[in-house]
Structure 1
Amino acid sequence: MIEPSREAWLNRIAQTGLTVSSTPAPDNVPGVQEALRSVVHWDVQPTVTIPLSHPEALKEVDRQWRAHAERTGLFGDDGSFLLGISGPGVSRFGWAVVRWSSGVELAPRLSKPEEGLDFLTMSMDGKLVCAVTEEEYAYWIVVENLP
């Protein structure tokens, strides 16, 4: 698979409806790989699951992800948060600083048949991770507080 350029990666994120900031992620937050380890390990338990067979699974993933993100304080005062997405080569880009706006469609726009759906979000202070992963029979939303 061809690895995307940073511009293509940012365009993929922007296609969700999120506002992508040119501001870099804060230096004092865990990197994408470190944050990923907090939600992808053998004893992790999902906060919520949505069956892949659900008739509107991707819309339900968005609805549940946003509800948990709001309830747990993922969004900054201006709606900002950090986003890492799956796909070939994207780990080298780290976090994108993004801002929520009305009409965002994360799961429907980020899901790709050949890659599935996996994305990782973190609060701007690096204290909260809210991840979406596609497992064998369901989408998992995992929320973890970091030390």
Structure 2
Amino acid sequence: MKDRQAPHWAATLDRCGLTRTDDRPAPDGPPLNAAFHAVNGFEVQPTAAVPASLPHAAEDLDTAWHHHAAQASLYDDNGEFLILPPVPGGSKIGWVRVKDPLGRNLPSRISGVTGSPEFMAASVDGRHLCAASVEESEFWVVAHEF
């Protein structure tokens, strides 16, 4: 029996306000192990850190992530980028090509759907990464070039 509904991960991206431009795994994303190491490796330092105790920490994380995503050339000429679906097992799905028609507050929108602002995004050529993560009492933005 064929399931007519979108997979859970696709519905999650939709609820985050992202438009999937291709449901097939994107072959040009950075290797997943390298992406995870760039964000979670022991020696990783944040590109920006926002204390979670600040009254407007979520808004500050949104601003910092969008600033560094633009600086890192995350978006292509059509405004598209790759994202690992922010769901359990998202790495098994792989990179998905999306567009963000709203263009703002992506970490907060992801947190509103998943309960956490954590996610990894990459440029469509796989050369640039910009991630949001939660580390102890801070929100981090990590930008990396492969």
Q: Same fold (TM over 0.5)?
A: yes
Aligned counterpart, 2:100: 100
**What SS does structure 1 have at the residue aligned with 2:22?**
coil
Aligned counterpart, 1:132: 132
Is residue 49–residue 141 contact of structure 2 (8 Å, CA) maintained in 1? yes
Aligned counterpart, 1:120: 120
Structure 1 residue 89 displacement after superposition: 2.2
TM-aligned CA distance change 1:135 to 1:6, over 3 Å: farther
Is residue 51–residue 138 contact of structure 2 (8 Å, CA) maintained in 1? yes
Structure 1 residue 34 displacement after superposition: 2.9
**What SS does structure 2 have at the residue aligned with 1:63?**
helix
TM-aligned CA distance change 1:98 to 1:28, over 3 Å: closer
Aligned counterpart, 2:79: 79
TM-aligned CA distance change 1:87 to 1:23, over 3 Å: closer
* Offset from partner CA, 1:20-79 (integer Å, 9 cap, x none): 112534424323333111221111110001111122222221111111111221100000
| Ranges in structure 2 where 5+ consecutive residues have no aligned partner | none
Name the CA distance, whole Å, in 2 between partners of 1:113 and 1:14: 10
Is residue 17–residue 105 contact of structure 1 (8 Å, CA) maintained in 2? no
Aligned residues: 142
* Offset from partner CA, 1:76-105 (integer Å, 9 cap, x none): 000000011443222211111111222543
State the TM-score, normalized to the length of structure 2: 0.84
Name the CA distance, whole Å, in 1 between partners of 2:89 and 2:96: 14
User: Is the deviation greater in 131-140 or in 93-102?
Assistant: 93-102
Structure 1 residue 115 displacement after superposition: 5.8
Aligned counterpart, 1:110: 110
| Ranges in structure 1 where 5+ consecutive residues have no aligned partner | none
TM-aligned CA distance change 1:113 to 1:104, over 3 Å: closer
Name the CA distance, whole Å, in 1 between partners of 2:115 and 2:101: 26
State the TM-score, normalized to the length of structure 1: 0.83
| CA RMSD between the two structures | 2.3
